[in-house]
Structure 1
Amino acid sequence: MKKIEPDTQALKKKKSLPDSYVILFAMLVVASISTWFIPAGSFERTTEGSVAMVVPDSYVSLPSTPTTLYDFFLSIQSGLTDSAGIIFLVLTIGGAFAILDYTGAIQAGIMQLIKKTRDRKYALIVVVSIAFSAAGFIGALQTAVIAFIPIGIIIAKAFKLDAIAGVAIIYLGAYAGYTIGGLDPITTGFGQEIAGLPVFSGLWFRFLVYLCILASTVLYLCHYISKISKDPSRSVLGAIPFPAEVENTNTIPDEFNSKHKVVLGYFTTCMVGYIVGVFNLGWGLNEMAALFLVISLGTAVIDKISANQYVTLFVKGAQGMLYAALIVGLARAIVVVLSDANVLDTIVNSMAILLQPLSSIFAAWGMYAFNLAFNLIISSASGQAAIVMPVMAPLADTIGLTRQVAVLAYNFGDGFTNIITPTSGILMASIAIGGVPWVKWLKFVFPLLLIWMAIGAIALGIAVAINLGPF
């Protein structure tokens, strides 16, 4: 009886942990209440292309429009509607991967790779993480990372790790590069364009910071994997390394046959085609969702899956992603509430007033801290740039900072907290695909976030010291 009691206590503790939906709903309540206390205000905006950017020094107070009970519930519907692109992408990915999972091609391919590397677990994981970070550095994987989370889960299963490791190998790998965004047109390119800097200037400095972020991420991942490999009970997920919905997948085939090779070749060709489309045709979420339909249909033809069986598999796969899909809309509802109440511009304007009297180094760190916090509300890089950079760029001039430093402060602030912010549809969908509760993910990743933040603070200090310019 004494041996059973601790397990019972652990089970009760696990049951008491709030679900991600509960956490987001509580945040939505707090955001709604805050609209009754934060003054409403707005900057004037000009439209360049399809993006509305604020006009510096144009802030004016507006009549207060706090969130009513009716607005509160309507915001959830608005959040779902605004996030329709990501929601349908997640559902489509679920359906497509159910077809791929049925063929066993990805599982067999990964097992073949493991055999060829002679069970060099860390080498394989490091290579995968570095490859995804490189894709993140050039801006190819901001939203596409969701599509690869199931592959990370398969790798984690093959090495007998846990779901957190599976998500982290892919997500943290990609975001180790995306946080710096050296060649990302949406984050760095857009931010520098607003600041009047040459696009992708200061690349040498960003690349050095990227190497530091990547090294810390890889070492952190390897440390966690080593810890749970030696003692599975030290997993953040406890005694259940993979939730039931993630665990219930097909067994890994013993043989990597020619049909598997054709399926993987077809999948790879489609993904390469998407990356080409991103850079040359401006493809986004809708094109990716359409592409996964093409992937699922082509895979069904290759594996000779009947039409009825295809529908059954696809719908079952999409159903398995429903939790991940709907959570994106609830996260977006928080932004809807704050935006409709006209308090976001008030927050940005207050930041500018607070930073203006500070010395250059403390002002740079202040911009950095503000963007870290502001990203918890506005997780969209382009959205944050459009609101913040038109204010921060001229503010940097008056304080004595280079505009390159201002862009770095925005970049780091926008990037780093993307790995924890519950208002990010990409993050919430990614961890939900792995069946990882947000609280558990936060416990796992928070020490790494502190490391990243320290690296960012040091890098900003150096940038101020050397008066980092546009080239």
Structure 2
Amino acid sequence: MKNTKAKQKFKFAMPDAFIIIFGIIVLAAIATYIIPSGAYDRETIDGVTRVVPDSYSTTEANPANLLDLFTSIQIGMIQSANIIFLIFIVGGIVKVMESTGAIDSGINALIRKTKGRYMLLITSVAGIFGVLASMGLAANAVIAFIPIGIALARSLKLDAIVGIATIYLGYYSGMIAGIFDPTILGLAQTIAELPLFSGMPLRIVIFIALITITITYTNLYAKKIKNNPQKSIMGTKPFGDDEENHEVATQDNNLNTSFSMVQKLVLLTFISFIGIFIFGAFTRGWGLNELVGIFLIMGVVIAIIARINPNNFVKIFIEGAKSITYGALVVGLARAVIVILEDGYIIDTVVNAALVPLQSMPVLLGGQLLFIFNLLFNLLVTSGTGQAAIVMPIMVPLVDMLGITRQTGALSFMLGDGITNIITPTSGVLMAVLAVGGVKWTQWVRFAFPLMLMWVLVGIISITYAIYTGYGPF
């Protein structure tokens, strides 16, 4: 008996996401003592700040001390405040929506019409978000749709991972291809002096490959846990730590529940306000702050429609915000990694040390290493526009010297920028999505990592094709 207890006592447990990310912060701090500090000069052209090629120079070292290690967490929280409060507000307003029964009733009505064919639903929803993202739409609004994916998965008796994968991975399949993306692709092609949206046919093929793999992978996982719920990566809590609330909701909810007029109006309000935000994002450059404002207005309108009195509204809102506090704080903690690296002036050193030696590489190897570099660098700088501003000005002369077309260079950047976003804990959007969905980062990585490797293979094949065919223009 004593031996059995001893084995149980020392059984390995996967570290919490907070522990893992803090470990990364410590490694980043240690790196500031090992990696020389340096910086490129920057210039602003047409409102876009870019790195000046061949301007790298060493700077005075600024290694992180013990106090810096911990103050970086506070600074990370402050710098991520817009995303953190977006998570709280989305969580609160979604809880208000859920209290009306509109989400569950609407999802159940959809399931009845499709006769419960969950694979068809996953395919359709993922495909829609992929197309929207490929045109530069949805963007931060993808966070707002995660509760719909969760409700869909719950009604289909699947887990929260399926709900997130359907929305988020469908979205990223389109974002990586960026067929008509005016922001990240637009900036990359502008810096490379390429015609806007040029090279579209190959990006369409890449999108079809990515979305097909994603839908197939998600459906296979859904089928596995549909046949045996115990195979869910999330174990006994398929909807996170708020499982009890979901169980209560499920008990009161079945496919025969009527879809009342009030519930239809609530869902219509949600769709209308998200549509307003997408229109504003596309035509007026709206971002996270406007999305929060839209959600708050939407919440008030829903409360009026459902006749929720002000005191109850506040009570329900606070319950929703409290339920995702864990995930909201993880976002700020992850940002601390970037704070340490930036304050230590080692990000530019990493770029210079990795990219400059590629000048002497064979064409095919050099092209693939550009792609691999962007994959890894994206773990540090997850902002697509931020990465483009740092990397693309240096990549353009490099690809010219390697004999690779600039269009191939832009493609290497696009593929590298997007793929690792689906697992990196430094991505504010990913951590926000997981927070809203109630999925732990460690659980998500177990699910998403094999898919990411498939996406990397698509990237390698695409870059190889682009190099051999002289993917143009230029």
**TM-score normalised by length of structure 2:** 0.95
Partner of 1:284: 287
Deviations 1:395-444 (A, max 9, x none): 11011011111111111111100101110011112112222221211111
SS across alignment from 1:36: helix
Where in structure 2 are the equivalents of 1:111-190 lying within 5 Å?
A: 111-190=108-187
Deviation of 1:448 after TM superposition, in Å, equals 0.7
Cα distance in 1 for residues equivalent to 2:244 and 2:131: 30
2:229 counterpart of 1:226? no
1:462 paired residue among 440, 451, 465: 465
Partner of 1:67: 64
SS across alignment from 1:316: helix
Partner of 2:410: 407
Q: Which residue identity lines up with residue 40 of structure 1 in the other structure?
A: S
Where in structure 2 are the equivalents of 1:36-435 lying within 5 Å?
A: 36-249=33-246, 250=249, 251-252=252-253, 254-435=257-438
Deviation of 1:12 after TM superposition, in Å, equals 8.6
Cα distance in 1 for residues equivalent to 2:33 and 2:345: 11
Cα distance in 1 for residues equivalent to 2:304 and 2:285: 29
1:25 paired residue among 22, 26, 44: 22
SS across alignment from 2:140: coil
Deviation of 1:51 after TM superposition, in Å, equals 3.5
Q: Which residue identity lines up with residue 54 of structure 2 in the other structure?
A: D
Decide which moves more: 430-439 or 165-174.
430-439
Contact 1:246–1:435 (CA under 8 A) maintained in structure 2:
no
Cα distance in 2 for residues equivalent to 1:294 and 1:50: 32
Cα distance in 2 for residues equivalent to 1:185 and 1:82: 25
Deviations 1:17-50 (A, max 9, x none): 2111111111000001101000000000002344
Structure 1 465/247 Cα, relative in aligned 2: closer, same or farther at 3 Å?
farther
Q: Which residue identity lines up with residue 252 of structure 1 in the other structure?
A: N
Cα distance in 2 for residues equivalent to 1:140 and 1:60: 39
Over the aligned positions, Cα root-mean-square deviation in angstroms equals 1.8
SS across alignment from 2:136: coil
SS across alignment from 2:139: coil
Deviation of 1:242 after TM superposition, in Å, equals 2.3
Contact 2:209–2:458 (CA under 8 A) maintained in structure 1:
yes
Contact 1:371–1:410 (CA under 8 A) maintained in structure 2:
yes
SS across alignment from 2:132: helix
The alignment covers a number of residue pairs equal to 465
Deviation of 1:239 after TM superposition, in Å, equals 3.0
Cα distance in 2 for residues equivalent to 1:24 and 1:140: 30
SS across alignment from 1:252: coil
Deviation of 1:158 after TM superposition, in Å, equals 0.7
Decide which moves more: 310-319 or 282-291.
310-319
Deviation of 1:247 after TM superposition, in Å, equals 4.5
Cα distance in 1 for residues equivalent to 2:244 and 2:194: 49
Deviation of 1:297 after TM superposition, in Å, equals 0.5
Contact 1:246–1:434 (CA under 8 A) maintained in structure 2:
no
Deviation of 1:390 after TM superposition, in Å, equals 0.5
Deviations 1:240-260 (A, max 9, x none): 322231441434371101111
Contact 2:177–2:414 (CA under 8 A) maintained in structure 1:
yes
Q: Which residue identity lines up with residue 294 of structure 2 in the other structure?
A: L
SS across alignment from 1:53: strand
Q: Which residue identity lines up with residue 37 of structure 1 in the other structure?
A: I
2:31 counterpart of 1:34? yes
SS across alignment from 1:52: strand
Cα distance in 2 for residues equivalent to 1:252 and 1:142: 31
Deviations 1:434-471 (A, max 9, x none): 22221211111111111100011000100111101139
Cα distance in 1 for residues equivalent to 2:122 and 2:271: 19
Contact 2:126–2:169 (CA under 8 A) maintained in structure 1:
yes
Deviations 1:89-137 (A, max 9, x none): 1111011101100111111001000001111111111101101111111
Contact 1:324–1:433 (CA under 8 A) maintained in structure 2:
yes
Cα distance in 1 for residues equivalent to 2:80 and 2:245: 28
Deviations 1:202-222 (A, max 9, x none): 111101110000101011011
SS across alignment from 1:47: strand
Contact 1:145–1:170 (CA under 8 A) maintained in structure 2:
yes
**Structure 2: 5+ residue stretches without partners:** none
Decide which moves more: 32-41 or 144-153.
144-153
Partner of 1:450: 453
Contact 1:156–1:163 (CA under 8 A) maintained in structure 2:
yes
SS across alignment from 1:356: helix
Deviation of 1:352 after TM superposition, in Å, equals 1.9
Deviation of 1:354 after TM superposition, in Å, equals 2.1
Cα distance in 1 for residues equivalent to 2:234 and 2:307: 38
**Structure 1: 5+ residue stretches without partners:** none
SS across alignment from 1:140: coil
Decide which moves more: 243-252 or 259-268.
243-252
Q: Which residue identity lines up with residue 352 of structure 1 in the other structure?
A: L
Deviations 1:371-405 (A, max 9, x none): 00000111111111110000001111011011111
Contact 2:141–2:274 (CA under 8 A) maintained in structure 1:
no
